[in-house]
Chains A and B, each alone.
Chain A
Amino acid sequence: MQETYERACYIERLGLFGCIQCGKCTAGCPLNYLTPFNIRKMVYEVLNSSGEEIASEKHEIWQCTTCSTCSSRCPKQIEPRDVIINLRSILVEDGNIPPQIRDVLKSISINYNPWRLGKEQRGEWSKGLALKDASEAELLYYVGCTPAFDPRLQKVAQAMVKAFNKAQIEFGTLGIEEVCCGSEIRRLGDIWSFDALREANTEIFNGYDNIKQIVTTSPHCYNTFKNEYPGLKPSVMHYTQFFSSLIDTGKLVLAKDFRKKITYHDPCFLGKQNKIYEEPRNILAHVPGSTFVEFDRNREASLCCEGGGGRMWIEIEDVKERLANIRVRAAAEMGVDIIAVACPFCLLTLEDAVKSNDLEGKIQVMDIMEIVAKTLT
């Protein structure tokens, strides 16, 4: 299925004529807290002139994190986020993109990951763990580029393996054969590379008759497999859904005390976009000795960490504040020890913010899986 981009009629395809310019999108946009980025205005301008003009003039289209707050709240069910993706694809097609993005896209085509690291290094995180191959189990653990390559996130993947083993779950991995899911690539506007990645991945996953289920580390991979891979045969789950049900059925017991005050930051791609709010909380509720407090802005109101939509590779200049800073300061006010996350990007951006707010030693950012690993005997 080729996603062809037709410049003239994407306005109708996205239903832009139905926009009543109510502004709910702009007012909910996390970027709008920081910059003059105005998605409502952009939708109106795209309707009235050509995408090319808008795309080349508005450098701020690279600021969008594709959190989808706009699309989820639009009362006319238009998708303003898709307008951004379409505008970006105009620029990608013309090669008119910031150098960081160019590097990312090049890395994808050479190494099948956005981190500019050789694909043969993709198995480093699991050295010494004796993992099964993908052909050997019904469950495939899809690690993802960031947990595979980033040293901080590798700890999360290792914790995941510990938990799988403790619950005696048989699972396989693709090892160095694993290829980027394409989520952020599509959101950066390179819909052509995304098509290629999707085709490759679908072929790989469907090619294994034994694979019935895929569990991902990242909500980004989960979201794209679940909602943007129509030909995929195995079912897809995010690890929070999988482990929540393991805990409920008693297959995984969190035994050791972990006496900390924990709060949970809902990731946009898990929460807002897929309405998965309770499973992560269920896991944390079973952490012995811990106390849990909610952010005021929880669930669908969670404040985007600014990690999605390619923002892991793009900096915004002249910005007075970062949303991640607001988030960790709110956590500090609540007196929490741990901010629990369920997404690699949230982990990296929030940890960064802890450091830049001098809260190191006072607040820790941990993936839910790392917390779980601490409670296993």
Chain B
Amino acid sequence: MPAKKIGVYICHCGVNIAATVAIDELKRFAEGLPHVKSAQNYMYVCSEPGQELIRKDIREKGLNRIVVAACSPRMHEPTFRAVLKSADINPYCLEIANIREQCSWVHHDKQTATDKAKGLLAAAVAKAALLEPLEEREVGVTPTALVIGGGIAGIQAALDIADNGFKVYLVEKDASIGGHMMQLDKTFPTLDCSACILTPKMADVKNHPNIELLAYSEVVDVKGFVGNFKVTVKKKPRYVLESICNACGQCAQYCPIVIDDAFNERLAKTRALHIPFPQAIPAKYVIDPEACRYLRDKSCRQCEQVCKELQAINLDQKEELVELDIGTIVVATGFDVFDARQKPELGYGKYENVITGLEFERLVSASGPNQGEIKIHGKKPRDVVFVQCVGSRDKTVGNEYCSRVCCMYTAKHAHLVREKIPDATITVFYIDVRAFGKGFEQFYDRVKGERVYYRRGNVSEIYRRGERLVVRAEDTLEGRAMEVEADLVVLAVGMVPNKGAKELAKLLKLSNSPDNFFLEAHPKLRPVDTGSEGVFLAGCCQGPKDIPDTVAQASASAAKAVIPLSQGKVKTETMVSVVQAEACRGCGFCVEACPYAAISLEEKKVRGKKKLVATVNEVLCKSCGACAAACLSGAIQQKSFTDEQILSVIAAIGKDY
């Protein structure tokens, strides 16, 4: 075995470390540690000259183990591993001592911090001396992607991945793709008709040879790992045969059950047998299983009788489970609107003419309940009041964040009211107006110019006075409370994560940010990656955003998701666990401990005897170390985290410095 020659590199990190840790003292200390051949300090070791310094030393001094005392390995572990590789030594002969986040950034006293840095460094050197070279391995990738969610984010991601030449499954839980964007009338700031710009993309999804659309379906199980996922999808029964139905609509006219129309935010009615909206993709009818009379008590088969020629109705259809082999996954589950009943002082749910922004979109849409005429109780409202920040920027309902789109969509709504009801009085109560995007401030100026009164004050209550509503807020710029009578109040409700997201998070092992949206791998530099390799985020499931930002993020997510698919291979974990068969007692605790089903008991012949031995699947193993910790016999050692290595770290830290 060649002699261990450790090189130590201490980073100043500008003043981040050097202001609190005495670098010279640390360097002298390092030189005295066992196996240390050389100790250097540098301003920014992660910089190109810093990296070159390491490379040079490896070549000239024959170093075979490197210790970097600097920032958290989460910053630059890959950087330094690459440096070792480029200098022809095994990249896993690297140990990083975090003397920044764990030392200089959390202590004030220079002496204490320096002493602690010595301990951290001694521990890293002790471990480095025991590190062994590890093999990097690769495994193949299924050249197929899964996009979960068929709103604009999912649609865009699916199209981009498919255009790259890869097969995509697009799974959508509703009966049609399109999501919330389909419900919008015009979009800010261009006043593009939402459905008009969305339906071509929906048609592209339908026609794309690489996209297989699984609508009215849900992901129920995910196993495996990046490049090799096994996903189970439940196809819910429509009770209408997709391959036969031609959407003629005859059947629905005879359905006796009337239900609330979810697409129209319950402002209109539809039948239990219905098509979600005219431009639905897939353009097929569907039966609501909770409303259908036959499905509840077998007492009606009208629709079957009507569809005699095609026989597209099958009331005995069952749900189907399909298993898909998937390489990478894009999560695009979108948002729900905030439930304004949680703000009882605003009267939503109590007064009929207090509605949400999304309900307003349906009112004002040509495909909506009034063919685009804004009417309440059959009458055009004369005084319209808009209330901003409902369910956003509000600790009392647990939503501290700003929902980003409401200032702009309210300005758009105000414009639409002005367009359709020229002599209406329009008031917007706001706290701040956030018009940050391209063309937004100009749009806001234009809307104000259309005689819209913007009053600065957070609406505190809405109550009834006779037939009218009174909206009470303080005009903080005037310094007095004011009341505005209204016949229509629109609440600018914010976004909350889609309710299905919680279950999906468990399946995909996704974390949430404090605002309950999905957590990205790094908020600045990796906004579409997640902590789970091979799983990416697109759209509002990661945080509230408008359509341009959603589309941009969806394309970014698609680009990331394609990388493993186009490379055709991914690296597997190197620091896997190893079982010493002779010591294994076959108890199976490790199997219970493993969250990835990467270890199992297999019958093996050990010293002539057959016995159950824990066996690691190195491809599934994620190097978490749970099995090694659970093992009662000490038979499992994790590479680069062996008992000997960990004990050497503890021994080094336990000394006085």
Contact = CB atoms under 8 A, between A and B. Distances in A.
B457 A22 contact: yes
Given A23-B473, A27-B457, A75-B395, A296 B479 contact: no
Contacts of A263: none
A73 B474 CA distance: 14
A26 interface: yes
B480 interface: yes
A316 interface: no
Q: Which of B394, B474, B481 has the most CB of A within 10 A?
A: B474
B513 to A, nearest CB: 20
Nearest to B344: A300
Interface residues of A, number: 28
A25 B475 CA distance: 12
B260 interface: no
Contact of A38 (B396, B464, B479): B479
Given A23-B474, A27-B461, A36-B480, A73 B395 contact: no
Given A300-B344, A301-B344, A27 B460 contact: yes
Given A22-B431, A24-B459, A40-B474, A75 B394 contact: yes
A28 interface: yes
B389 interface: yes
Interface in A1-44: 20-29, 32-33, 36, 38, 40-41
A76 B473 CA distance: 17
A60 to B, nearest CB: 14
Contacts of A36: 480
B345 interface: yes
A206 interface: no
A33 B460 CA distance: 12
A74 B476 contact: no
A40 B473 CA distance: 12
B464 A73 contact: no
A28 B461 contact: yes
A23 B456 CA distance: 9
A299 interface: yes
Contacts of A29: 481
Interface string B458-481: 111101100000001111100111
Contacts of A40: 474, 476
A300 B345 contact: yes
A72 B476 CA distance: 19
B460 A25 contact: yes
Given A296-B463, A296-B464, A300-B344, A26 B481 contact: yes
A251 interface: no
Nearest to A75: B394
A121 interface: no
Contacts of A76: 395
B293 to A, nearest CB: 35
A297 B463 CA distance: 7
A27 B395 contact: no
B301 interface: no
Q: Which of B458, B472, B475, B480 has the most CB of A within 10 A?
A: B458
A41 B460 contact: no
Interface string A55-81: 000000000000001001111110000
Interface string B393-409: 11110000000000000
A72 B389 CA distance: 16
A22 B345 contact: no
B463 A27 contact: no
Contacts of B459: 24, 27
Contact of A301 (B395, B431, B463): B463
Interface in B119-138: none
Contacts of B473: 23-24, 27
B393 A28 contact: no
A27 B389 contact: no
A269 B393 CA distance: 26
Nearest to A300: B344
A72 B395 CA distance: 11
Interface in B475-489: 475-476, 479-481
Contacts of B460: 23-28, 69, 73
A23 B463 contact: no
B464 A23 contact: no
Given A26-B474, A40-B476, A296-B464, A75 B458 contact: yes
Contacts of B395: 75-77
Q: Which of B393, B456, B457, B460 has the most CB of A within 10 A?
A: B460
B493 to A, nearest CB: 14
B396 A77 contact: yes
Contact of B344 (A20, A21, A32, A299): A299
A28 B345 contact: yes
A22 B464 CA distance: 23
Given A300-B344, A301-B344, A24 B481 contact: no
Contacts of A300: 344-345
Nearest to B399: A75
A221 to B, nearest CB: 26
A27 B431 contact: no
Nearest to B389: A75
A300 B347 CA distance: 11
Nearest to A27: B460
Contacts of B393: 20, 75
A21 B476 contact: yes
Interface in A295-309: 296-297, 299-301
A27 B476 CA distance: 10
Contacts of B476: 21-23, 26, 40
Contact of B345 (A20, A26, A32, A301): A301
Nearest to B393: A75
A22 B458 contact: yes
Contacts of B461: 27-28, 301
A75 B394 CA distance: 4
Contacts of A297: 463
Nearest to A73: B460
B527 to A, nearest CB: 27
A21 B395 CA distance: 15
Contacts of B431: 20, 22
A163 B148 CA distance: 61
A20 B392 CA distance: 14
A40 B393 CA distance: 17
Contact of A73 (B396, B456, B475, B479): B396
A25 B457 CA distance: 10
A365 B481 CA distance: 31
Contacts of B345: 28, 73, 300-301
A44 B266 CA distance: 43
A9 to B, nearest CB: 22
Interface string B301-332: 00000000000000000000000000000000
Contacts of B479: 38, 41
B645 to A, nearest CB: 47
A139 B496 CA distance: 45
A29 B472 CA distance: 10
Nearest to A72: B396
Nearest to A70: B460
A120 B475 CA distance: 52
Contact of A27 (B344, B464, B472): B472
A334 to B, nearest CB: 12
A199 to B, nearest CB: 33
A26 B481 CA distance: 7
A270 to B, nearest CB: 16
Contacts of A33: 481
Q: Which 6 interchain pairs have the tightest Cβ spacing?
A: A23-B474, A27-B460, A28-B460, A22-B458, A24-B458, A75-B394
14 contacts: A21-B476, A23-B473, A24-B457, A24-B459, A24-B460, A27-B458, A38-B480, A41-B479, A75-B393, A75-B458, A76-B395, A296-B463, A301-B344, A301-B463
Interface of B: 344-345, 389, 393-396, 431, 456-461, 463-464, 472-476, 479-481
Given A23-B475, A40-B474, 6 more contacts: A23-B458, A24-B459, A26-B481, A27-B458, A27-B460, A28-B461
